[in-house]
Structure 1
Amino acid sequence: MMKTLKTSVLASGFSCLEAPRWHLGALWVSDVRAGKIFRIDLDGKVTIVADVPGRPFGLGFLPDGNLLAASMTQRVILKFGGEKPVIHADLTDLASGHLRDLAVARDGSAYVTSFDADASGPDGFASARVLLAMPDGNIRSVADNIAHPNGLAITSSHDLLVAETLGNRLLGFEIDSDGALLHRKIFANFVGMSPLGICADAEGAVWAAAARQSLFVRVQQGGRITHRVHVSGRHAVACQLGGQDGRTLFCLTVASNLDDFPNRQQTARVEATVVDVPGAASSVRFAETGSP
């Protein structure tokens, strides 16, 4: 039987939130239009972590705890750890469009999606790709010909999942020892839904935001939807599992009137609900979170 969950508001007053990540007792998010990275405690306290030139998008954490952020328009991955951010990887020669979401594997390899939002048809899909920045500095494209790749998630079994937004599906890849993506497969097809931001749980299922809909869903491999989260009057953007026991689903939403976007209206917010299955151990280190 499918379950329907409701959310409560954790924090509001943002412009355009993306890429939620749970790390060391707090939720970290990018505000793309404000050009800032925020840290949000479980009591709703908001702290500015960094100002990012070129619009921050995807976030991730290296094994040493340093923060990585994809700078959309500069097409570089920035590393934050000292007084000033440094360029961790320069992807300008490989990225055909803006950088999007980012996921860091357990060895520090950073995957980031890239596509030209203005491109359409086969040419646009051919230019969309997943890029890889290795810890040794090597950078390369590891997957292409994807119908606008958006959200990324790494599962407990060390697979990489990609939300193929215009393909209305989730793709899965095995991560090889050298970072290559192998055995491309369809994890789940959607009917009447295009996935955006995603996260994986400990049972191998995926939570996904439905583009331009007031809906988040939990989907198992093969396409069976087990749970829904409705955010009435809002658009779903991205989600992340976290909290002290990993069972809090953080949902990023924005007002459903997309005309607000160019006017920089601060309608984006973080909502939360409690779920049964915690987040994938690969992407959330709950033992390190402590108390918020």
Structure 2
Amino acid sequence: MKTLKTSVLASGFSRLKAPRWHLGALWVSDVRAGKIFRIDLDGKVTIVADVPDRPFGLGFLPDGSLLVASMTQRLILKLGAEKSAIHADLTDLATGYLRDLAIARDGSAYVTSFDADATGPDGFASARVLLTMPDGNIRSVADNIAHPNGLAITSSHDLLVAETLGNRLLGFKIDSDGELLHRKVFADFEAMSPLGICGDAEGAVWAAAARQSLFVRVQQGGRITHRVHVPGRHAVACQLGGQDGRTLFCLTVAANPNDYPNRQQTARVDITTVDVPGAASSIRLAEIGSH
């Protein structure tokens, strides 16, 4: 097993979520600050948009439009140059706050939703993966998941879901109409609860370990091949990108906020270089952004 170390790319954030590599930069949402940031490879930070109602999951439509899941409003917003518009209203289907967002190649958007206070079989039954189709159709496509958090769509068109309280990753085949078929366990973890995830070109998954100072690369079946330790930090989410697709962006937050002068701004982006690049879609975006 290989162990990697990180360096700091950018810091001074409140609570970062949903990293996405797009057009030569990392895009992240800051849930507590209510902002979307764009971070260049040299660490330059630009505010893309203000989203006061707790932005979480991010994704880009085929035409390049940016979608964001508004946690408390239970809306998916499309952010424009001057104002945002409602892309999908999920208030009738979402049983709790919205979380991560992933967009398929046809523009279908998947988002996770659960009540953070719900536990046990009855509570988990209300946790869902919701789907918004390009034609406006909205429906639930998966339930009975023990707190679904991070999402990733693989190059083989599977949807992976981080089942945080189930200590595992679930995999689904995406059907032609957006339905999720052939539910399976991609990987079980004995002592780790996965949060944010991303896939690489070999079909393995990088996952953040909830409440731990650890990111891991896991293959289907559960074999861990690489670890990234972030001492004194808690892992939150990760994304592959960079000009060659081999930069792993690791979102972290202070394990002990008292160690920092400003306790509300302890989130940051750490980076390391990995052997296997991101999935083909991420690499294409990186190439576009380099021209």
Deviation, structure 1 residue 286 = 2.5
Deviation, structure 1 residue 124 = 1.6
Tell me if structure 2 keeps the 8 A contact 1:16–1:254: yes
Secondary structure of the corresponding residue to residue 280 of structure 2: coil
After superposition, where does 1:88-167 map in structure 2 within 5 Å? 88-167=87-166
Partner of 2:266: 267
Structure 2 unmatched ranges of 5 or more:
none
What is the identity, as a one-letter code, of the residue corresponding to 2:236? Answer: V
In structure 2, distance between residues paired with 1:167 and 1:259? 30
After superposition, where does 1:1-292 map in structure 2 within 5 Å? 2-257=1-256, 265-284=264-283, 285-290=285-290
Tell me if structure 2 keeps the 8 A contact 1:13–1:269: yes
State the TM-score, normalizing by the size of structure 2: 0.97
In structure 1, distance between residues paired with 2:167 and 2:258? 24
In structure 2, distance between residues paired with 1:53 and 1:174? 34
What is the identity, as a one-letter code, of the residue corresponding to 2:286? Answer: F
In structure 2, distance between residues paired with 1:163 and 1:58? 14
Cα RMSD of the aligned pairs, angstroms, is 1.5
> Deviations along 1:28-58, whole A, 9 cap, x unmatched?
0000000000000000000000010310000
In structure 1, distance between residues paired with 2:9 and 2:288? 22
Deviation, structure 1 residue 123 = 2.0
In structure 2, distance between residues paired with 1:212 and 1:26? 27
State the TM-score, normalizing by the size of structure 1: 0.96
Tell me if structure 2 keeps the 8 A contact 1:106–1:282: no
What is the identity, as a one-letter code, of the residue corresponding to 2:71? Answer: M
Secondary structure of the corresponding residue to residue 282 of structure 1: helix
Q: Which runs of 4+ in 1 moved over 2 A?
A: 257-260, 282-287
What is the identity, as a one-letter code, of the residue corresponding to 1:257? Answer: N
Structure 1 unmatched ranges of 5 or more:
none
Deviation, structure 1 residue 176 = 0.4
Secondary structure of the corresponding residue to residue 225 of structure 2: strand
Deviation, structure 1 residue 259 = 7.8
Q: Percent identity?
A: 87
In structure 2, distance between residues paired with 1:63 and 1:82? 17
- Residues matched between the structures, number: 289
Deviation, structure 1 residue 83 = 1.5
Comparing 197-206 and 119-128, the one that deviates more: 119-128
Comparing 282-291 and 72-81, the one that deviates more: 282-291
